[in-house]
Structure 1
Amino acid sequence: MDPNKKPKGLDNPSTVKIMKTMAAANVWLYRATGGRLASHWRMGVAFRKPVKICLIEHTGRKTGQVRTTPLVFLRDGERVILVASQAGLPNNPQWFLNLKANPQAHVQIDKERWAVTARVADPDERAELWPKLVELYSDYDTYQAWTERIIPVVVLDPA
């Protein structure tokens, strides 16, 4: 993707609805198969080099309901690292806001599920992790170029 050419429909509300619908289908299929299906992201640069996804179960900050979001992740020892990119949209994703409000969550990778505590990486930690994340999925650099916000990096530590 061209970092200088943000897609025209990206900020459209219907794009967000499509993303939510696709995510819900992804979660259902991932859970139904224990991660055998729907366990890889295949959009953008990941079309040719798919990257694994995990499921994050978090609590809605307004509703108190448990939400599940499929996300690309990086394993860093026992930690799981996430990027709150939302494809370079101007606002942070809801899952990120939910984890900031209630950092207790669960992560599932394939059939394994465990409790985690989420925190936002500090600037030094983000600077250390960002190159690894871009190596995993280079569109993160493109997304960063498309938005004025600094895309947060989230660290999930085992609870």
Structure 2
Amino acid sequence: MVEAKKGLAGKFTTAMPQPRPDGPLFFLAKLMTKMHVALYRLSKGRLGGRMDAARLLVLHHRGAKTGQPRATPVIYLEDGPNLVVVASMGGQDVNPAWYHNLRAHPEIEVDIRGQRRPVRARLATAEETTALWPQLSRMWPAFEDYKKRTDREFPVFLLEPR
């Protein structure tokens, strides 16, 4: 694993407040996410596949209430056969929507560089989170800055092959 320094994307995400789900910039953030996913898909992850040195995957999941398909780019860490993602939402006081979606519908797919694979999402135990956190924060140093913005614990998901 490449140890990352906080690069341009990490500096930007920690300097700018994340748009609140009820705020006017949230629509813009959703639009940018859709564009990011489209670029990622078209290029098979060659474009939009990294945030600084951290790798991105696209979660393909369903809305917890609506069941509608969703696609969300997230930073991930490989841990043996599993993938690890953090529901940090930039340090906001609430979990991202995809957290609730994975809890409601854990059978999902991930897209990594144009390769889709089925996985089952499960919350990491406290022990697993403690063991994984040093690797996660080395990979994406902005996680530590996000933690300073909130009192909530960031849920960590293991995405296990199925």
TM > 0.5: yes
Which residue does 2:148 correspond to in 1?
Answer: 145
Dislocated runs of 4+, deviation >4 Å: 6-9
Q: Which amino acid aligns with 1:112?
A: Q
1-side partners of 2:115 and 2:70: how far apart?
18
1-side partners of 2:111 and 2:19: how far apart?
29
Q: What 5-or-longer segments of structure 1 have no aligned partner?
A: none
Contact 1:11 1:89 in 2 (8 A): no
Among 75, 98, 102, which residue is 1:99 paired with? 102
Percentage of pairs with the same residue: 34
2-side partners of 1:57 and 1:22: how far apart?
17
Which residue does 2:159 correspond to in 1?
Answer: 156
Please, what is the CA RMSD of the aligned residues? 1.6
Among 80, 86, 89, which residue is 1:86 paired with? 89
Q: How does 1:5-154 map to 2 (within 5 A)?
A: 9-10=17-18, 12=20, 13-41=23-51, 46=52, 50-154=53-157
Deviation string, structure 1 residues 44-101 (Cα, Å, up to 9, x no partner): xx3xxx3210000001111111100000100111101001000001100000110001
Q: Which amino acid aligns with 1:110?
A: R
2-side partners of 1:158 and 1:142: how far apart?
31
SS in 2 for 1:135: helix
Q: Which amino acid aligns with 1:111?
A: G
2-side partners of 1:96 and 1:57: how far apart?
12
Deviation string, structure 1 residues 86-122 (Cα, Å, up to 9, x no partner): 0001100000110001100001110211000001111
2-side partners of 1:57 and 1:10: how far apart?
22
Change (3 A) 1:158 1:14: same
TM-score, with length taken from structure 2: 0.85
Contact 2:19 2:29 in 1 (8 A): no
